[in-house]
Amino acid sequence: MSGLTCYFSGELADVTNYDQCIYNPSDYTDAQQLGRMLFKQKQQGLTYQSVRNIGATCWALFTPKHVISIKQTSHF
């Protein structure tokens, strides 16, 4: 497993306070529907709460074209 640091640009939709149904750890249906809707709206990606690391924030890009750089920071 590797640790990575990623730098990217772009405007991301903030869904961190969105309806809790998108945070179901065993059923991704609502989260996938939201992702499709945001993609169709030409959003560049989204910011959301981590389901597996409570209190952490995650980022998702719909395309890699907004990635400026990515570097391996650790290997374990």
Total domains present in the chain: 1
pLDDT value, residue 69? 96
pLDDT digits (tens, 9 = 90+) for 13-61: 999 999 899 999 899 999 999 999 999 999 999 999 998 898 999 999 9
**What residues form DSSP beta bridges with 57?**
49
pLDDT value, residue 76? 74
pLDDT value, residue 58? 94
Looking at the whole model, is its pTM more than 0.75?
yes
Residues 21/33/9/7 CA torsion (nearest 10 deg): 60
Inform me whether the pLDDT recorded for 2 exceeds 80: no
Please check whether residue 6 is in contact with residue 12, taking contact to mean a CB–CB distance below 8 angstroms.
no
Query: Which domain, by its residues, includes 58?
Result: 2-75
